[in-house]
Structure 1
């Protein structure tokens, strides 16, 4: 349910490493697109952007769903990807359903009365969610449609993505939250199955590691980028 602007703080320090591009994925942000939601279609969207801007090979950084699309892109179009950072995403969530989270999402007091209300309700991730809402006259609503998000996530419960992991041949960093909701052990295995892959667990962090532990996240990513071979 995020969008490119939630990465603003990260993008500021990433600029020293090159041009930074942010993509609102289909179903996300103000330019949300209705349509089908297969992982391969999200990958094609990212590949199309990199080609259109002649930006490859690129370092692709993604959180959660974006992390899945990042390593899937690297496996599908290796010439477009120089390296990958995957933040708190597991390749195999088969058997899980969106019903686990539906009650929580639908308990939110939407519409929120103000951006202050959004920040108060979400606490430590309040700034993140303040970028994900829009004023529709009666208050602030999520930009994304929950029904679309449920459909996107439902695919993760039906299939695994290890075949993509096994196709990655570029450097990869997996950043795992200590308090992850992902299946245990998979993020370490993800890194282990990629030649030279790295894995880090960030203590005290929840799912949005780059917000919960920004300095630790930055340190890990900058060390990873500094170790990359010259393009």
Structure 2
């Protein structure tokens, strides 16, 4: 796997790349980064050009002071696809990345082949967003060392396998005086968390590209009711519910996620 920065003309994004073939882009959730998709890329790179992206404000990508609405993230996706000169692309997004991928597909249909939307839909309840925003803001802290980071992540993401915790700990923090801090910009995270509350119903009504909805059966972000309402809004969109997985479907169940992606793409 190689890593580089891509100047899209509007922002410079850090990406990880592996494989050859049709373009498949991966977009992570809030506070995360592209490294979390390494297990999926390993399995899919034999038939796709897999590119995982640090979204704006996250990881090693640019972190402007403003510009964290859904339309900003979607424009970044469009700019990246044009810069890679390999579209249309299959978009695989988790949480924030799901919201951004569906928005990009609705806004730039000529650049998108299809979308795998993992555990983010319209109709997420207000109290769920309140809890998410609180967790996001609490993550901006100084950690004494890598062990402290892993202990924090293990407590925050109680169902993640140890290997997934290690990936997050090793890829998502930078050394500063006194210890380690998250790479994700706290200003960007606060703006992004607020922006997640935007009404997605018009976007889901408008999207014309194939979209696969994936939910963890134990997700605390996307309730069964929120998924059911989304299916009533767009009964044509296929749904996969992954048993034993919470919100972090692709990290908890990478093999099932890969199977869902390949079945959808090959359908």
TM-score (norm: length of structure 2): 0.76
Aligned to 2:18: none
Aligned to 2:43: 13
Aligned to 1:65: 96
The 10-residue stretch of structure 1 (8-17 or 73-82) with the greater mean CA deviation from structure 2: 8-17
> 1:55-134 to 2 correspondence within 5 Å?
55-93=86-124, 95-96=126-127, 99-105=130-136, 110-123=141-154, 124=160, 125-130=164-169, 131-134=171-174
The 1:22/1:61 distance shift into structure 2, 3 A limit, reads: same
> Cα deviations across residues 65-101 of structure 1 (Å, max 9, x unaligned)?
1001111111111111111001110223474586424
The 10-residue stretch of structure 1 (95-104 or 31-40) with the greater mean CA deviation from structure 2: 95-104
Give 1:143 deviation, angstroms. Answer: 0.7
- Given that 1:57 and 1:81 are in contact with CA atoms closer than 8 Å, whether structure 2 keeps it comes out as yes
- 1:140 and 2:171 are equivalent in the alignment: no
> 1:177-188 to 2 correspondence within 5 Å?
177-180=216-219, 181-188=221-228
Number of matched residues? 226
> Cα deviations across residues 9-31 of structure 1 (Å, max 9, x unaligned)?
11111212321122211111122
SS at match of 1:41: helix
- C-alpha distance in structure 2 between counterparts of 1:89 and 1:188, whole Å: 12
Give 1:176 deviation, angstroms. Answer: 0.4
Structure 1, unpaired ranges of 5+:
none
- C-alpha distance in structure 2 between counterparts of 1:178 and 1:172, whole Å: 19
The 10-residue stretch of structure 1 (179-188 or 128-137) with the greater mean CA deviation from structure 2: 179-188
Aligned to 1:161: 200
Aligned to 2:54: 24
- Given that 2:133 and 2:194 are in contact with CA atoms closer than 8 Å, whether structure 1 keeps it comes out as no
Structure 2, unpaired ranges of 5+:
1-30, 155-159
- C-alpha distance in structure 1 between counterparts of 2:206 and 2:49, whole Å: 26
- Given that 2:124 and 2:226 are in contact with CA atoms closer than 8 Å, whether structure 1 keeps it comes out as no
The alignment's C-alpha RMSD in Å is 2.4
Aligned to 2:263: 223
- Given that 1:192 and 1:198 are in contact with CA atoms closer than 8 Å, whether structure 2 keeps it comes out as no
Task: Pick one of 151, 170, 179 that aligns with 2:209.
Answer: 170
Give 1:106 deviation, angstroms. Answer: 5.4
Give 1:148 deviation, angstroms. Answer: 2.2
- C-alpha distance in structure 2 between counterparts of 1:52 and 1:106, whole Å: 33
- C-alpha distance in structure 1 between counterparts of 2:119 and 2:63, whole Å: 25
Q: Which has the higher strand share?
A: 2
